[in-house]
Amino acid sequence: MERYLFPVERVSFSPDAAVPELSRFSRRAPRAGGNETPREGFTLIEMMIVIVILGVLAAIAINLTFKMTGKAYEDTLKSDLSQAYKASLLYHNDHPQGNVTPQILRENGYCPSDDVALTVVDGSMDGLRITATHPGVQGKVYEVDHNGRIFEQ
């Protein structure tokens, strides 16, 4: 006679044979009285594993969000510097000996983004240097030179 770990019923494979109920079997070991009860729901360990997995996924998502926000602020700085450079070109086409100021840049098409601090270090045509900072990008200062190159200081 064969021994099985779980109760086994012999089932014939005829189309009229009754299908045994799966709810009779449970993953829980039999109680001391010998009767088995169907198990419903999740164990504490299963719930803790799900919560840990969700926590890890949330931490990854939050980290990526902060990185993307910082990148967006850097792109805003670069865009503002590019726009300021083009506005300075417009001004210098009409006034080759003049020096640009933030006010002159605005008059020639520069529209500053929110919270961007633009500083004209040198407003001459040959030595143009404009810097920009943003509070969302702490410790980074971007600059555009007279050739239109944008770089981090």
Helix residue spans in 25-152 (DSSP H): 44-94, 102-107
- Residue for token pair 């840990």: 52
C-alpha pair distances (Å), 34 with each of 8, 26, 64: 16, 13, 53
In total, how many domains does the chain have? 1
Q: Is residue 119 part of a domain?
A: yes
Q: Is residue 141 part of a domain?
A: yes
Find the mean pLDDT for residues 122-139.
92
pLDDT tens column, 52-74: 999 999 999 999 988 898 899 99
Cα separation, 81 vs 153, in Å, equals: 13
Find the mean pLDDT for residues 87-91.
94
Q: Is residue 97 part of a domain?
A: yes
Q: Is residue 102 part of a domain?
A: yes
Q: What is the pLDDT of residue 141?
A: 94
Q: Is residue 58 part of a domain?
A: yes
Q: Is residue 16 part of a domain?
A: no
pLDDT tens column, 1-41: 566 666 656 655 566 655 555 554 445 555 555 556 656 77
Task: Give the domain range for residue 108.
Answer: 44-152
Q: Is residue 24 part of a domain?
A: no
Strand pairing report for 150-152 and 117-122: unpaired
